């Protein structure tokens, strides 16, 4: 059976709808995604105050988005692993742990970039 996919604006429209559906599902079902969403929302205005250039602003906001992206990927990994079965499997546990580690590293990157920019703009003279 040959499947024809939509193209052009129709494809963009449907892809956007699926993306919004995924974001809503993550927010509804994943406490970590909710916490990180609220943290990003709270930090967003600070980014405009802290940044002294467009590049700094882009970096600060990008780190907030990076954490959310990594949490979405982690959630997707967990959903697939959970769908595959409920019995213990070493590889399934490894997949979940690696996804969680990716989120942790994104938080480290966020702290590093925010800390560096805060240091440059307010402490270094």
57 vs 50: CA distance, rounded Å: 8
* Of residues 48, 69, 71, 72, the one with CA closest to residue 60: 48
If you count them, how many residues does the chain have? Answer: 125
Q: Are 105 and 87 in contact (CB under 8 A)?
A: no
Q: What is the pTM of this model?
A: 0.91
- The count of other CB atoms within 10 Å of the CB of residue 93 is 11
Across the 125 residues of the chain, what is the mean pLDDT of every consecutive 10-residue run?
Answer: 83 95 97 98 98 98 98 97 88 96 98 98 89
> Choosing from 36, 71, 78, 87, which is the catalytic residue?
71
Q: Are 22 and 71 in contact (CB under 8 A)?
A: no
Q: Active site includes 87?
A: no
| pLDDT score of 2 | 81
Q: What is the dihedral sign for C-alpha 46, 49, 51, 55?
A: positive
For residue 116 the two structure tokens come to 């560096």
- Angle between helices 31-50 and 54-84 in degrees, nearest 10: 170
| pLDDT score of 90 | 95
């Amino acid at each position: 059976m040959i499947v024809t996919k939509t193209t052009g604006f129709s494809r963009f429209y449907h892809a956007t709808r699926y993306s919004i559906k995924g974001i809503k599902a993550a927010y509804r079902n994943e406490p970590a995604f909710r916490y990180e969403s609220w943290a990003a929302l709270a930090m967003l205005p600070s980014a405009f105050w802290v940044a002294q250039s467009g590049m700094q602003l882009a970096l600060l906001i990008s780190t907030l988005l990076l954490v959310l992206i990594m949490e979405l990927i982690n959630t997707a990994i967990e959903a697939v692993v959970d769908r595959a079965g409920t019995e213990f499997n070493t590889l399934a546990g490894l997949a979940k742990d690696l996804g969680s580690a990716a989120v942790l590293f994104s938080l480290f990157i966020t702290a590093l970039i925010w800390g560096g920019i805060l240091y440059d703009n307010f402490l270094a003279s």
